[in-house]
């Protein structure tokens, strides 16, 4: 085989290995109860939320997207995007991130040897009235679970109830659980949105 052909085969094998290693599953929280889902469905705040830019923008950007997906507020956007002050300011209080590492054996084995790590998912942030910046309502939505890379991830993501293929933060159950953690503070948020101390 010519050198050019060997190089092409090597590149194709590397792409295949990375593709298989990149096939991942991640943990989901259990489904919410009917009562919790009903509380989310019937809660809408007459309020807007401006998210303060975090020093690592991916965390505040993700909070904007996912808090907006809960559909609990009239608008969720970057704080600087508002022409008039929002009702609430949201700020990231703590970074929640996964596990960094190179799944060497999974790549070498073309996905046959899985790599499983425990990862933390969620958001830790505060909501504060824009006008007074107090009181501070802390939302601590975090959970830990296994994430798997390799061929085993296909089985886990397709057949296990509390696993999903890809990023669990894009799953509706993640958004529902985020919404539930906000709805638990609904009385206080509604009172502050109406301007009551």
Whether 97 and 54 have beta carbons less than 8 Å apart is answered as no
pLDDT digits (tens, 9 = 90+) for 44-60: 999 999 999 999 999 99
The DSSP bridge pattern shows strands 45-51 and 73-78 to be parallel
* Longest CA pairwise span in the chain (Å): 78
Between residues 108 and 139, the one the model is more confident about? 139
| Average pLDDT along the chain | 88
How many CB atoms are closer than 10 A to CB 103? Answer: 23
| pTM (2 d.p.) | 0.85
31-37 average pLDDT score: 97
């Amino acid at each position: 085989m010519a050198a050019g052909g060997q190089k092409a085969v090597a590149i194709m094998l590397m792409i295949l290995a990375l593709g298989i290693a990149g096939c991942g599953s991640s943990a989901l929280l259990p489904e919410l109860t009917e009562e919790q889902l009903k509380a989310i469905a019937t809660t809408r705040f007459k309020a807007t939320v401006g998210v303060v830019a975090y020093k690592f923008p991916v965390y505040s950007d993700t909070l904007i997207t996912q808090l907006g997906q809960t559909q609990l507020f009239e608008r969720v956007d970057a704080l600087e995007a508002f022409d008039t002050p929002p009702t609430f300011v949201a700020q990231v209080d703590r970074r929640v991130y996964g596990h960094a590492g190179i799944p060497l054996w999974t790549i070498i084995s073309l996905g046959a040897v899985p790599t499983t790590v425990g990862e933390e998912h969620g958001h830790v942030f505060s909501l504060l009235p824009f006008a007074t910046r107090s009181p501070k309502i802390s939302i601590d939505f975090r959970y830990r679970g296994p994430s798997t890379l390799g061929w085993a991830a296909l089985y886990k993501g397709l057949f296990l109830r509390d696993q999903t293929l890809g990023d669990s933060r894009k799953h509706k159950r993640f958004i529902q659980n985020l919404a539930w953690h906000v709805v638990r503070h609904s009385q206080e948020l509604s009172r502050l949105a109406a301007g009551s101390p």
